[in-house]
Copies of this chain bind each other. A is one copy, B any other.
């Protein structure tokens, strides 16, 4: 065997890849994927925007750009982020090749082998893989209905000197669907102040809220701009334009930015100019705002269809959240239930989802009594057809 690095030997193949292959079968209704519906992409708009650009800009789309991003996109994106109240001028903006690259860069900037990263359980698998690739120890802090458990967070910080980072997805959490309360964010800020543990605030889904009244709750911690905490804010075009463009961003304090830029330089030199030119045109045309409004309504419609189907078909012993935005509903089954077994039964019936243990930071855990359903990529009709299959599988497995 080749003499591989210790870091890569600690990485294991994720089951989710095989699942995605399954999920692409046309005879299966898939609630597994966390991708936007293909039918929702603004294909014509983007094609027309590109066609309308001058030759110089089109040529620049084929050329290398600066490592931090094309200046024109940095400028237009700054305007987009300032509308969210983010302190763009007091920080530095770095374009990344998807927000996954942002997480990977932050992991490499902070983690030495054996360092601890504090994460939510359940947790976004992309973040888990970015941290594991740097040989991090993952310390799982449970979520309740309001956000991360503050009591558990305080305890872990107090006992673990190697705690280097805290990673959170407070806005329509993947996979838990949760929107943090304002009060929980306040407590979090208090706990972190002066602790020298930078916060990675992942806000990939925040634009996809269903209720105007949640706007205040959606204010990023980065926008609250608390003293004594280094907040590394990550965002993405994946849910508001298209993941195939592979464009995300990080808003970072200067000192962290400087290190991240060096890592990005070594990782892929720069993000694709071609898709940066498209994203810039999409923002400058103003179409990004009407597009976000339209997908917000569509995902709300899909979520409502799933909520109605779950109400009608799920056994009462299943607990779940009503989504207020984003892509996901998280089902909690009775203790001892086996979501992988349920998934196999559902597959026989023609539907698929992701078993909860996939999102467990503790890879050795046997606990598997939860599952993630995505409604983002299904019509209400598919949802009405698929949910009874999932409900049947739950009944068969759990009684």
Contact = CB atoms under 8 A, between A and B. Distances in A.
Interface residues of A, number: 82
Contact of A243 (B6, B14, B62): B62
A238 to B, nearest CB: 8
A81 interface: no
Given A55-B43, A108-B8, A272-B246, A133 B67 contact: no
9 contacts: A5-B115, A11-B262, A41-B59, A62-B241, A62-B244, A100-B267, A101-B267, A101-B268, A104-B268
B255 A268 contact: no
Contacts of A112: 5-7
Interface string A249-287: 000000110110011011111111111001000000000
Contacts of A63: 35-36, 38, 41, 242-244
Contacts of A274: 242, 244-246, 272, 274-275, 278
A385 interface: no
Contacts of A317: none
Interface stretch (A124-132, A150-158, A337-345): A124-132
Given A63-B244, A164-B3, A262 B108 contact: no
A47 interface: yes
A272 B266 CA distance: 18
B246 A268 contact: yes
A244 B64 contact: yes
A60 B35 contact: no
A259 to B, nearest CB: 5
A97 B270 CA distance: 9
Given A62-B38, A62-B41, A263-B133, A3 B110 contact: yes
Nearest to A59: B38
A3 B104 contact: no
B14 A196 contact: no
B43 A62 contact: yes
A26 interface: no
A336 interface: no
B43 A47 contact: no
